[in-house]
Amino acid sequence: MEKERYPMIRPEHSGTVYSGERRAELDLHNEALLYHQVPVDFVFIGDSITHFWDVHTHFNQSGMKIVNRGIGGDTSSAVLKRFDADVIQLKPQYAVIKIGINDTWTLDAQNPLDRLNAEQIEPTIVTNIVEMVRIAREHRIIPILCSILPNGMTNHDSMEIRNRLIRRINEQLNAYCSRNNLIYVDYHKRMCEPDGLTLRSELTYDGLHLDIFGYNVLAKVLQGELSRHGIAL
């Protein structure tokens, strides 16, 4: 007889072995929070930039219950599919959403049939993020939208195209937040080289992922923006 599992949302997984292991880990963490009825203040959701962020160390003085629901390699579509599981069912006060960079790797897809241009990628990211916001607000969770970070991977031929795409998406997200009275956290502006496009080299160890100096900037920018809205973190 198969053992019954605790009743909760468990999204299907169809990615890599690595992301599958992370999915299993998050399901177990969600199960613990729900079973013990732990009130959650903040959920951070996104890709590897979020996953690798030790939010508990950066915000350990806040007294808030913060959970990290980043999965390395996730696209905006993948995060949208698991949004109910990793945000909604946890009933946080706030959802910190930062996603989109992995959608842009299709600019460099080896198979021409899989390759997309910037004009094809842009609406997908924006639409998925806007849908996350709609779902969050429907459940009385305050969404906090964060800009996609600039990229500094010089080994990619499409780096400049990617960074111009990122800047356009961020402009759209910023405008959307202004129109809808939402919180927008502009990491991008604080992390760019003077060209306004490229990730500052002193904030990253590989042109994509952040080191401690990069995460220190994220924490400072996020806390500053939330403080402007009367939210302590």
Task: Match domain 17-228 to its CATH number in 3.30.450.40, 3.40.50.300, 3.40.50.2000, 3.40.50.1110.
Answer: 3.40.50.1110
What is residue 15's predicted lDDT score, i.e. its pLDDT?
Answer: 66
pLDDT digits (tens, 9 = 90+) for 176-222: 999 999 999 999 999 999 999 999 999 999 999 999 999 999 999 99
Provide the pLDDT confidence category of residue 154 given band limits of 50, 70 and 90: confident
Q: What is the pTM of this model?
A: 0.94
Q: Under a CB-based contact definition with an 8 Å cutoff, are residues 50 and 87 in contact?
A: no
Element counts in the chain: helices (H) and strands (E): 9, 5
Which tens digits make up the pLDDT trace of 119-135? Answer: 999 999 999 999 999 99
Measure the CA–CA gap between 165 and 104, rounded to whole angstroms: 8
Q: Where are the domains of the chain?
A: 17-228
